[in-house]
Amino acid sequence: MTQTPDPSAEAVERPIAYGARLARAVAEHGPLCVGIDPHPSLLTAWGLSLDADGLERCGRAMVEAAAGRVALVKPQSAFFEAFGSAGIRALERVLADCRQAGLLSLLDVKRGDIGSTMDAYAAAYLTDGSALAADAVTLSPYLGIGSLDGAIATALGSGRGVYVLAATSNPEAADVQRARHLDGVAVAQAVVAAVSRANAEELATGEPGAWGSLGLVIGATIPAETVAALDLGVVSGPVLAPGIGAQGAGPDDLPRVFGAAARFVLPSSSRAVMATGPDPATLAAAVERTAAEYRPRT
Ligand SMILES: O=C(O)c1cc(=O)[nH]c(=O)n1[C@@H]1O[C@H](COP(=O)(O)O)[C@@H](O)[C@H]1O
């Protein structure tokens, strides 16, 4: 996995690495990631119209509730794409609000394609000046982890990050992710190892002790057999852990699944938080309460 950005570009102006920016935000606010998943049923429950205007109001209200209370938010692109170009425009506004509020955005797009196509996705999501630019995106490695090399280089070169799916929270995932390579290593573990190696290379040239800019996605609901197939001792970057709240996992599941890597875990909750809206004060209180549940006890 190649992850070193173009050295000539670095010499001109080196942006602050995503891992360093994230570690700082987590130190300030705690590790909770609030998901922005405007399901149609949620728009209805919030009294909003089932169109791009409803989406935009919902998404922007979530940014307002999260800003200054958590380190990052994760808009789910699918719910915006479902409304076509007007939905994409709403997503652009939500991302612009994040930038303005100084709130890190992790755009959940789960892209994974051949390398040349990945370069176009990277231009859309990981390049300064793009209307859809986020601080990080989710990527799928299941066309081969090497197919993500170009997107990873683009992310690192612009001070952004990517989160690579390793062991996801859905029950169907085990067939592929727990399968073993000929040498016996589980597919999900090979993803963990490749991302961790790339982080080690990045960190070798950066601030000691900082987080790597490349993350993993490991569901907080994964079963014991999947946990047993993973060695997370090598992790040195963020681990997004969806599955808390609506999918049933809670704070007590994190040590069971992540062990010593728990210090890198970003628990992510969408529906459980959003269900408390739309009243802004109630929503902000739910964000704060959930964030407090996951902050390390001092
Ligand atoms: O990449 C993700 O965020 C993700 C990975 C995974 O393994 N499981 C998972 O649920 N997700 C996403 O996390 C969100 C789940 O939200 P809630 O179940 O409502 O908290 C959705 O946007 C999912 O697409």
**107 vs 95: CA distance, rounded Å:** 9
Pocket test for ligand 1, best of 108, 110, 164, 269 (most atoms within 8 A of CB): 108
Average pLDDT over residues 17-31: 97
Q: Each residue of 88-120: pLDDT tens digit?
A: 999 999 999 999 999 999 999 999 999 999 999
Residue 74 annotated among the catalytic residues of the structure: no
Residue 63 CA to ligand 1 centre (angstroms): 18
Ramachandran angles phi, psi of 267, nearest 5°: -65, 140
* pLDDT digits 0-9 by tens, 55-71: 999 999 999 999 999 99
Cα 230 to middle of ligand 1, angstroms: 20
225 pLDDT band (50/70/90 cuts)? confident
Take residue 193 and report the two structure tokens written for it. Answer: 């190892």
Q: What pLDDT, on a 0 to 100 scale, did the predictor assign at position 206? A: 74
Domains in the chain: ranges and CATH: 7-294 (3.20.20.70)
pLDDT in tens, 150-178: 999 999 999 999 999 999 999 899 999 99
pLDDT above 60 (res 37): yes
User: Are the CB atoms for 88 and 116 separated by under 8 Å?
Assistant: no
pTM of the complete model beyond 0.90: yes
Q: pLDDT band for 4, please (50, 70, 90 cuts).
A: low
Q: What is the distance in A from the centroid of ligand 1 to the CA of 208?
A: 31
268, 271, 290: which to mutate for ligand 1, most atoms within 8 A of CB? 268
Contact indicator for 268, 74 with CB cutoff of 8 Å? yes
Question: 242 CB less than 6 Å from ligand 1?
Answer: yes
The predicted model gives 219-223 an average pLDDT of: 93
Percentage of the chain modeled with pLDDT above 90:
87
- Segment 18-23 mean pLDDT: 96
Question: 9 pLDDT exceeds 70?
Answer: no
Q: In this structure, which residue's CA is closest to atom 4 in ligand 1?
A: 242
Active-site annotation holder among 110, 123, 124, 127: 110
Residue 229: pLDDT band (50, 70, 90) is: confident
Which pLDDT does position 224 carry in this prediction?
A: 87
Average pLDDT for residues 118-127, to the nearest whole number? Answer: 98
Is residue 12's pLDDT more than 70?
no
Residue 34 pairs with which residues in a beta bridge?
73, 269
Predicted pLDDT at 2 = 54
217 lines ligand 1 (CB under 6 A): yes
Q: Is the CB of 270 under 6 A from ligand 1?
A: yes
Residue 210 has pLDDT above 90, yes or no: no
pLDDT at 54 over 80: yes
34 lines ligand 1 (CB under 6 A): no
- Indicate whether residue 168 lines ligand 1 (CB < 6 A): yes
Q: Are 60 and 93 in contact (CB under 8 A)?
A: yes
